[in-house]
Chains A and B, each alone.
Chain A
C-alpha cells in the first residue's frame, strides 16, 4: 500500500482538527461546519459523474431525498409510528434499523434506483441527459408530496432522532473522498476521464462506456443517499421542499465554482459556498435585499463559466501546494 501512510496521516490530522472543533465551536458554528460537510459529500460524489465522467446529472438531490426518507423511516421510534403514520404499510410498521445501518440502507436504495433508471437515462447524452435527470428529480419530488401514507406529503417528517454529529459526517466525507480518489486514481478512473474527453475514442480503445457511466452514476447516488440520511438526522425535520430545485442549483454552483474536474475542487466549492453564505447573509438581512446572496452566487457562476470554466482548482490541492513549495525553494536558491 503505497498510499497507506498518507491516508493514515491525513485521517489523523483530520481527527485532531475535528476534536478541536468539537470542543471549541459554538452550537451555531458547529451546525454550519456540519452542513458544510454534508454539502461536501454531495459535491464530491456528484463530481464523480459530472466532473470525471461525461454524465452531467441534475438529479443528485433526488437520490439524496431517497436516502433521507429511507433512513428516517428506518430509525423512527417504533412506539410513535402508529400515531404519527396512521396509514403506514405493514412492512414498515416494524422495520427498524440502528442509525449507521439505516444510513447505508438509504444509500443502497438510492444506488439501486440509480442502477434501474441508469439503464434508460444513461443512453442519452449531454443536455438530453441533464434534462432527463432533472426529470427524475421532479418525479421524486412529486412522489414525496403525494405518497402521504409514507412521507406525510407536504407536512414532512419531524421528530427524527438527532443522531448525526460532526464525527459521523466527516467520517462519511472522508470515506467519500477516499473512494472517489481511489476510483479516479485507478485504471477505471482513467477510463472515465477518457470517456469524458472523447467517448468515441474511448470506445474504440475497448472501454465499455455505458458500464463506466453506470458505475459512476450508481456510486454517486449511493453517497448522495447517505448524505440525505445524515442530513435528515441532523436537521431532524424533512419535507419535500428541502429537496427541491434550489438545493440542486446550489450544489451545481458549489461544484462548478470549486472545480468539477478535481476532488479538492468539489469540496472546496462546498467550503467556499458555506463561508460566503455566512458573510453575505448579514448583508442581505441588514439591507433588506432578499435574494442578494443568490444574485451574487449566480453572477459568480456565470463569471466562472466565462473566465475559468474548469473552476477555481484545476489541479488537485496537493499538487498545487507542492508546486508552490517548490517555487518558493527555487526563488530562495536564486
Chain B
C-alpha cells in the first residue's frame, strides 16, 4: 500500500528532479531569450561540468576549490562554443542554429568519449554531502537537501541579478528587443557572452549535483536531462524564467509520480510521458504556459 513516507519520498524526489531540470531550463531560457536559439548542446554542458569536477579532483584539488573551478571552466567553454559555432550564424534562420547546436552536442559527447573513455566514471561526492538523515522509515540524503536549498538560493540570486544589476537589466532589454537595446548603447555581443557564461556555469553546477545524486557520469549523461530541460523550458514558455521554473516542476513531478504511483510495468514509459506533456501543452498553449506570442512577419 502507498504509505505516508512513500509519498514523502516521492515528494523529495520530484523536488530534487525539479531543481535540476529548472536549473538547466533557466540556462536554456536565458540563451533563447536573447538569441532565439534552442541550445540542444546545453545538456552536454552538464556532462562536461561533471567531468571538469572529476578532472580537478584528480589533479589533487579539494572539492571546495574544484567546484568553482569547474563552473568557471564550463563558462569559458560555453563562451568559446558560442564564438566558434553560433556567432557566425547570427541573423540567419532560427533553425540553422538549432541544427548547429545538435552538431555541437554530438561533438562534445564524442570529444569526452575520446578523452575520458566511454566507461562510466564514479562521481566522488565530498564528505560533507555524503550523509543520510533518518526519521523512522523516512530517510533523506544530504545531497538532496543541498540540491534543493542551493537551487532556491540560486533562483533568488538570479532574480536579484535580473532586476537589480545593470547587466541583468541590459540582458532583459536585449531579450525584449535586440535592435532597440543596441540603439540604447548596449553591447549585444558582450551581453550574449555573459548569457552563455552564466548559462554554462549553472549547467556545470547542475552537472555536479546530477553526478552527486546518481553517483556516476558517462559521456551520454547529458542527453536526457538536456532534452527534459528543453521540454521544461518550452512547457513553461521558453524565454521566461518563471516559466522555466514552473516547467521544470511540472516535469519533475510528472516523472517521479508516474513512476512511483503507476504499476511497475508502466515505469518504462517515463520518458514518453514527459514528451506527451510537452505535446499536450504545446497544443493548448503553443508558446508555453508563460510564453508570449511573438508576431511573425
Chain A interface residues toward B at CB < 8 A: 56, 120-121, 123-128, 130-132, 134-136, 138-139, 141-143, 145-146, 200, 245, 249, 252-253, 256, 289-292, 294-295, 297-299, 301-302, 305-306, 309
| Residues of A close to B230: CB separation below 8 A | 131
* Mask: chain B, 100-122; 1 = CB below 8 Å from A; 0 = not: 10111111011101100010000
Establish whether residues A56 and B95, one from each chain, have CB atoms under 8 Å apart when the complex forms.
Answer: yes
Query: Given the interface contacts A121-B279, A295-B114, does A142 sit within 8 Å of B272 by beta carbon?
Result: yes
Check if B268 sits within 8 Å of A146, measured CB to CB: yes
Name the B residues within 8 Å of A132 (CB-CB): 278-279, 282
Q: Which residue in chain A gives the minimum CB-CB distance to B113?
A: A291
The total of interchain contacts (Cβ-Cβ below 8 angstroms) comes to: 123
Give the residue of B38, B85, B110 whose beta carbon is less than 8 angstroms from that of A294: B110
Question: Interface stretch among B53-61, B86-94, B245-253?
Answer: B86-94
Q: How far in angstroms is the closest Cβ of chain A from B77?
A: 15
Cross-chain contact B275 with A138 (CB below 8 angstroms): yes
A294→B296 contact, CB < 8 A: no
* Residue B227 at the chain A interface, CB threshold 8 Å: yes
Q: How far is the CB of A319 from the nearest CB of chain B, in Å? A: 24
Closest chain B CB from A121 CB (angstroms) = 7
Within 8 Å by CB of A135, from B89, B109, B266, B275, lies B275
Q: A299-B107, A306-B88 known; 10 other A-B pairs, CB under 8 Å?
A: A127-B38, A131-B38, A245-B223, A253-B103, A290-B118, A291-B114, A294-B110, A295-B106, A301-B102, A301-B106
Contacts of A128 in B (CB 8 A): 234, 282, 286
* Interface size grouping (class) on chain B: 35 or more
When distances are taken between beta carbons in the complex, the residues of chain A under 8 Å from B100 are 301-302, 305-306
Given A121, A139, A146, A306, which contacts B89 in the complex, CB threshold below 8 Å? A306
Contact B113 A138, beta carbon cutoff 8 Å: no
Q: Which residues of B contact A298 (CB under 8 A)?
A: 103-107, 110
Q: Is the CB of B107 within 8 A of A302?
A: yes
Q: Which 3 A-B pairs have the closest CB atoms?
A: A135-B275, A142-B272, A291-B113
B92 near A309 (CB under 8 angstroms)? yes
Contacts A142-B271, A145-B268, A146-B268 known; A123 to B283 CB distance under 8 Å?
yes
On chain B, the residues within 8 Å of A121 by CB distance are: 279
Instruction: Bits for B244-284, please: 1 = Cβ < 8 Å to A, else 0.
Output: 00000000000000000000011011111011101100110
Chain B residues with CB under 8 Å of A56's CB are 95, 98
Whether A139 and B107, one on each chain, are in contact in the complex, defined by CB atoms closer than 8 angstroms, is: no
Listed residue (B89, B102, B109) with the most chain A CB atoms within 10 angstroms of its CB: B102
A130 to B93, CA, bound (A): 14
Q: Can you report 17 residue pairs joining A to B where beta carbons are below 8 Å apart? A: A134-B275, A135-B231, A135-B278, A136-B279, A138-B275, A143-B272, A146-B269, A249-B102, A252-B99, A256-B99, A289-B114, A291-B110, A291-B113, A297-B106, A302-B107, A305-B96, A309-B96
Using A126-B94, A245-B223, A302-B104 as known contacts, say yes or no to A139 and B275 having CB atoms under 8 A apart.
yes
Q: How far is the CA of A31 from the CA of B223 in the complex (A)?
A: 31
Residues of B within 8 A of A252 (CB): 99, 102
Chain A residues with Cβ below 8 Å from B223 are 245
Complex Cα gap A297–B157 (Å): 40
Are A120 and B286 in contact, CB atoms less than 8 angstroms apart?
no
| Contact yes or no, A123 B286, CB < 8 A | yes
Give every chain B residue within 8 A of A120 (Cβ-Cβ).
Answer: 279, 283
Contact A305 to B296, CB < 8 A, known contacts A123-B286, A142-B269, A252-B99 = no
Q: Write the nearest CB–CB distance from B280 to chain A, whole angstroms.
A: 9
- A292:B110 contact, CB within 8 angstroms: yes
Which B residues touch A289, using CB under 8 A?
Answer: 114
**Residue of A with least CB distance to B105:** A298
Q: How near does chain A come to B154, taking the closest CB pair, in angstroms? A: 25
Smallest CB–CB gap between B267 and chain A, Å? 9
Assembled-state Cα–Cα distance A135/B104 (Å): 20
User: Contact between B266 and A146 (Cβ–Cβ < 8 Å)?
Assistant: yes
A301 to chain B minimum Cβ distance, whole angstroms, is 4
Q: How far is the CB of A86 from chain B (nearest CB, A)?
A: 16
Cβ–Cβ < 8 Å partners of A123 in chain B:
283, 286
A294 — nearest CB in chain B belongs to which residue? B110
How many angstroms between the C-alpha atoms of A56 and B95 in the bound complex? 8
Q: Using a CB-CB cutoff of 8 Å, which residues 64-94 of chain B contact chain A?
A: 85, 88-89, 92, 94
**A145–B113 Cα gap in the complex (Å)?**
26
Given A131-B234, A289-B114, A290-B113: A305 in contact with B272 (beta carbons within 8 A): no
